[in-house]
């Protein structure tokens, strides 16, 4: 344990969280690979801390996913490729002419780069989920999240007041709305909505432990107002997906934190009331989204993606190949938008990985999240109860937002999400220190 009462791996991870949105959200090639190097270094340091749990079913599925991604890269004879992926063999014949061997992936180089990045983040999450956690480590990372939300939101507000649209004031692309140090307002909103719930859980915990008046007079008073600043910065982005995701997740957070206090005979009514509110938020969010032209742009993206999925339903076209593949489905001459992503992470994953890749990835995530929720539900320790609720609500917000955008393909957002997901699913094992 170091100076802050945390291991070297956790200390490095806290620093990475604070600097991950720089520069430009780590979307430049050099900054992306630098981030991957630091993530893998952090995983190596954290691996030395040991493991507390393992789940054979989850690990088997993840090993299966790893094997499947390698399988997409293996060269295979033309007759086998034609049997496994007829559409892939057809498009490769048009592009390359006669060939003897090729992988299932239409672009092996893209799939290789994607696989390296994907497994760097997934390995980090796996190690964090299975390690033995200490109270100081959970609080250290939580404060890092809150500080990231504070400085990003303050930077956003200052840019808004100064009418400054460049990403880093004097450098970077111009944006229509304030986006902190990220380029895209929807991606920045996704980052802020995760941090909003982490900060909200932390404030709940501090008030429960120290009391409101004592917190006001402490040096951590800035954390008390952090959810307000973060929420305001998110609203400045004008991200409809962000607002709807936050609204739905706020209802989920209230259910987690207040549901236990409801008198049993009113609990059923309380759940129906919250579900009705959630349905209203989704409905109103959808209405306003379509009203502003959402249907025209993303509707076309989804239609093209579904058409591509029908041609590559089992094994996919290869991870990372979506931007090239989708251009072959563009038929409407009036549709000029550049299609780089499906603006739906689940749909894009289906296109690139097929049903096999989709199942091997999302099934273990669901199992881990459900198992973590069950452990958390039986705990009464305030730190576990309130921070766990904040972590889980942040996961739900990002998961819902991913139906309308691709925030988790942005390295800075992905890093924050992976750590929050790991904390949400492992905090239920945290032992209360006397």
Residue-wise pLDDT tens digits, 154-184: 988 888 887 777 766 666 666 777 788 888 8
Higher pLDDT, 370 or 331: 370
End-to-end Cα, the chain, rounded Å: 19
| Residue % of the chain over a pLDDT of 90 | 49
Task: Identify the weakest region by mean pLDDT among 4-8, 183-187, 323-327.
Answer: 4-8
CB neighbours of 110 closer than 8 A, spacing ≥ 6? Answer: 318, 319, 320, 321, 324
- Domain positions in the chain are 8-429
CA distance 422 to 349: 21
For residue 25, pLDDT beyond 70: no
CA distance 431 to 186: 37
pLDDT, one tens digit per residue, over 230-285 is 999 998 888 888 888 888 888 889 888 876 665 566 566 666 766 676 666 556 55
Structure tokens at 221: 């008073």
Phi, psi of 321 (to 5 degrees): -95, -5
| Structure confidence at residue 178 (pLDDT) | 78
| Structure confidence at residue 367 (pLDDT) | 92
For residue 293, pLDDT beyond 50: no
CA distance 377 to 373: 6
Mean pLDDT of the chain: 85
For residue 169, give the DSSP letter.
Answer: S
What mean pLDDT is predicted for residues 206-210? 85
| Structure confidence at residue 283 (pLDDT) | 62
Higher pLDDT, 219 or 70: 70
Task: Identify the weakest region by mean pLDDT among 290-304, 339-353, 373-387.
Answer: 290-304
CA distance 129 to 66: 18
Higher pLDDT, 286 or 148: 148
Alpha-carbon distance values, 25 to 128, 168, 274, 287, 365 (Å): 23, 11, 35, 31, 25
Higher pLDDT, 56 or 314: 314
CA distance 31 to 10: 21
What mean pLDDT is predicted for residues 216-232? 83
How many other β-carbons are positioned within 10 Å of the β-carbon of residue 74? 12
For residue 36, pLDDT beyond 80: yes
pLDDT level of residue 11 (50, 70, 90 thresholds): very high
| Structure confidence at residue 48 (pLDDT) | 86
Higher pLDDT, 51 or 293: 51
| Structure confidence at residue 292 (pLDDT) | 46
| Structure confidence at residue 291 (pLDDT) | 46
């Amino acid at each position: 344990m170091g100076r802050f009462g945390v291991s070297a791996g956790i200390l490095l991870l806290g620093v990475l969280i604070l600097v991950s949105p720089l520069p430009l959200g780590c979307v430049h090639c050099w900054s992306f690979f630098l981030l991957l190097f630091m993530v893998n270094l952090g995983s190596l340091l954290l691996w030395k801390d040991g493991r507390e749990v393992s789940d054979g079913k989850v690990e088997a599925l993840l090993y299966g996913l790893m094997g499947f991604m390698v399988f997409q890269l293996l060269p295979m004879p033309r007759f086998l490729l034609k049997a496994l992926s007829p559409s892939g063999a057809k498009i490769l014949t048009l592009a390359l002419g006669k060939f003897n061997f090729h992988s299932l992936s239409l672009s092996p180089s893209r799939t290789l780069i994607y696989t390296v990045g994907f497994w760097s983040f997934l390995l980090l999450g796996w190690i964090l989920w299975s390690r033995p956690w200490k109270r100081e480590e959970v609080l250290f990372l939580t404060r890092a999240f809150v500080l990231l939300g504070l400085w990003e939101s303050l930077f956003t507000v200052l840019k808004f007041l100064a009418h400054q649209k460049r990403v880093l004031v004097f450098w970077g692309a111009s944006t229509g709305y304030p986006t902190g140090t990220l380029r895209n307002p929807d991606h920045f909103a996704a980052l802020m909505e995760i941090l909003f719930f982490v900060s909200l859980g932390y404030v709940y915990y501090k008030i429960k432990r120290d009391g409101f008046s004592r917190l006001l007079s402490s040096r951590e008073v800035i954390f008390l107002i952090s959810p307000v600043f973060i929420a305001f910065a998110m609203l400045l982005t004008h991200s409809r997906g962000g607002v709807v995701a936050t609204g739905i997740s706020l209802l989920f957070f209230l259910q987690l934190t207040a549901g236990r206090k409801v008198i049993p005979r009113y609990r059923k009514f309380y759940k129906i009331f919250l579900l009705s509110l959630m349905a209203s938020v989704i409905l109103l969010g959808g209405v306003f989204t379509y009203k502003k032209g959402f249907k025209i742009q993303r509707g076309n993206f989804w239609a093209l993606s579904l058409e591509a999925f029908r041609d590559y339903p089992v094994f996919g076209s290869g991870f990372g190949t979506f931007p090239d593949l989708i251009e072959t489905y563009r038929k409407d001459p009036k549709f000029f938008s550049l299609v780089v992503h499906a603006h739906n992470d689940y749909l894009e994953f289906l296109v690139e990985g097929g049903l096999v890749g989709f199942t091997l990835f999302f099934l273990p995530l669901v199992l881990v999240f459900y198992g973590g929720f069950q452990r958390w539900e039986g705990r009464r320790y305030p730190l576990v109860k309130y921070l766990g609720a904040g972590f889980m609500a942040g996961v739900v917000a990002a998961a819902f937002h991913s139906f309308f955008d691709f925030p988790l393909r942005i390295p800075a957002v992905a890093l924050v999400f992976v750590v929050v997901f790991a904390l949400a699913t492992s905090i239920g094992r945290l032992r209360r220190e006397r």
